[in-house]
Structure 1
Amino acid sequence: MNSQPKHQLPSVALYWDFENLHASLSEARLGEGSYGKPDGRFKLQEPVVDVAAVVEFALALGPLAINRAYCNWQFFGRYRDALLQGAVELVQLFPPGAAAKNGADIRLCLDAMQDIERFEHVGSVVIVGGDSDFMPVAQKVKAAGRRLIGIGDRKSTNRHWAKSCDEFIYYDRLVDPMAMPAEPDHSPAALVPRAIRLLARNTGEPWVARAAVWQMVQRMDATLDLQEQGFDSFSDLLTRLNASVEQGAGAWENHLRLRQP
């Protein structure tokens, strides 16, 4: 396998107020107020959150040191495969009553503040959720010199929370909000264009350093073996992707970008 020089990026901590996002997307499909009803919330839930899309967005920022989701998981068993594929650590929170919140936002904030104090290698914090309750943790994260990125549903995100982040990404910018979550394609030919697209979105430049693309691909699939997949090296893979991936020259040597259709 072709080895690329490694530059260790600061680590990323990803925290999910999972039920918050799921509820918003569920109501977008089934009608406003539908999730809050007893027969809407306390039953086996159909997957509507594209876990892989959010995880890959976070991976474009750097290696994931923490990937933790807070929810009452007893009704979310159908997310099992997506959560396992995303290597998400699950924190179980039972609501104290039928009409009560499960306290995910409070627990998430406490854990995030403790983690940034303990782990100096965490450079970026990503919080998935739209509640204004996250505003105090935003102040603590930024005071600690870490970058804060929020992700939330456009209709349910508190605008004050969104503005308190260094960057806020609406979920519908990551995926088609009306599409069912798809099984991620882990073939190298699919991973490379996705890596370039995600990295280019972060930098705002179409050209992305080749070494950064390779590191991103490895973060997306740590089991990837190019030779097992029929490629002699990363260079060989890029040559075979020539129709969709352009290799730079001159000032853009050792950079890649997606070819325009």
Structure 2
Amino acid sequence: MNNDDITANRGVAIYWDFENLHAGVVDAKYGEGAYAKQENRYKPQEPLVDVQALVELAASFGPVAINRAYGNWQYFGRYRDSLLQSAVELIQLFPPGASAKNGADIKLCLDATEDIGRFWHIGTVVIIGGDSDFMPVSQKIKAAGRMLVGIGNRRSTNKHWAKSCHEFRYYDTLVESAPTEPQRQLAAKELASAPVDPAAEMLRRAIRLLGESRGEAWVHKANVWPMVKRLDPTFDLKEHGYGSFGEMLKAMDALVEVKKGDADHLLRLR
């Protein structure tokens, strides 16, 4: 059974060990051990994690059914807008002792195990975090016939955990190819003030993400429109002057190359 068989027409569950990811990004920016220092850890945190890039990656595997992030949210309020925009459910965990560990990895593993037992429609599980503590749950997820995708910081991710996934993506590499938040804001301003076609930009994002998730430039036409709707559920063809998705593709000939496949047309960005 390959990954396409596992995920066909099934949903995605995302589980974030949010502080683990954020700590790795802080250390990468300010030096090893920067986050662990008390004067840095127990204060409002700078929003460094690209939440949208991670949700978009997860959406390339299917419709997101569960999107849950675990952490002590009293210090992460500056992530409010990006978390809300990406429809992330926040699970508050207060550290029970002096060690300040909030037990996110334990709660995350328990929830993921319970969810794959309850929800047959979950085909892909995405775990964001680099701890070796996730190795036992990886065995449960794979034994249940679900695809497991891990995401973590390159320097702080346990190599055995990474190897235990069907696929593992390093956050560092992922955000190198994704637009930064300032770039997104600039693009939004350009769309508002210049004759840039927002439909073309949405199509470009959908094809790029599908291609990256499968490691090839050509993607099936049938997968592109569902990907567009996962990226933006409010996207309406009629609002952009198109009667159908096929009509939009014809108008985007300068952007998208089309060829016949065995069972479906294939698309790639020019």
In the alignment, does 2:243 pair up with 1:222?
no
After superposition, give the CA deviation of every residue in 1:102-130 in whole Å (9 maximum; x if it has no partner). Answer: 11000000000000110111111110000
Distance 1:85 1:21, change over 3 A: same
What is the CA distance between 1:239 and its match in structure 2?
A: 3.0
Indicate the residue corresponding to 1:66 in structure 2: 66
Please say which of residues 123-132 and 204-213 is displaced more in the overlay. 204-213
SS, match of residue 12 in structure 1:
strand
Please say which of residues 12-21 and 229-238 is displaced more in the overlay. 229-238
Indicate the residue corresponding to 2:176 in structure 1: 176
Please say which of residues 141-150 and 98-107 is displaced more in the overlay. 98-107
Please show how residues 79-98 of structure 1 align to structure 2 within 5 Å.
79-97=79-97
8 A Cα contact 1:138 1:165, kept in partner: yes
What is the CA distance between 1:192 and its match in structure 2?
A: 1.2
SS, match of residue 82 in structure 1:
helix
After superposition, give the CA deviation of every residue in 1:199-252 in whole Å (9 maximum; x if it has no partner). Answer: 122333322111210011011111111221333432333233222211224758
In the alignment, does 2:121 pair up with 1:121?
yes
What is the CA distance between 1:98 and its match in structure 2?
A: 5.1
Q: One-letter code of the match for 2:65?
A: A
In the alignment, does 2:258 pair up with 1:258?
no
Q: One-letter code of the match for 2:72?
A: N
**Percent of residue pairs bearing the same amino acid type:** 60
Distance 1:253 1:178, change over 3 A: closer
Alpha-carbon distance between aligned partners in 2 of 1:41 and 1:97, rounded to the nearest angstrom: 16
Indicate the residue corresponding to 1:244 in structure 2: 255
Distance 1:116 1:178, change over 3 A: closer
8 A Cα contact 2:229 2:235, kept in partner: yes
More contact order relative to length (CA 8 Å, sep ≥ 6) = 1
Please say which of residues 188-197 and 109-118 is displaced more in the overlay. 188-197
SS, match of residue 256 in structure 1:
strand
8 A Cα contact 1:171 1:177, kept in partner: no
Q: One-letter code of the match for 1:21?
A: L
Q: One-letter code of the match for 1:167?
A: E
Alpha-carbon distance between aligned partners in 1 of 2:175 and 2:98, rounded to the nearest angstrom: 32
2:224 to 213, 222, 237: 213
After superposition, give the CA deviation of every residue in 1:119-145 in whole Å (9 maximum; x if it has no partner). Answer: 111111110000000011001111111
SS, match of residue 239 in structure 2:
coil
Distance 1:83 1:99, change over 3 A: same
TM-score by length of 1: 0.90
Indicate the residue corresponding to 2:12 in structure 1: 12
8 A Cα contact 2:68 2:88, kept in partner: yes
Distance 1:254 1:179, change over 3 A: closer
Query: Aligned pairs, how many?
Result: 253
What is the CA distance between 1:8 and its match in structure 2?
A: 6.7
SS, match of residue 125 in structure 1:
strand
Alpha-carbon distance between aligned partners in 1 of 2:128 and 2:94, rounded to the nearest angstrom: 19
Q: Tell me, which stretches of 5 or more residues in structure 1 are unaligned?
A: 1-6
| Structure with a larger share of its residues in helix | 2
Q: Tell me, which stretches of 5 or more residues in structure 2 are unaligned?
A: 1-6, 189-197
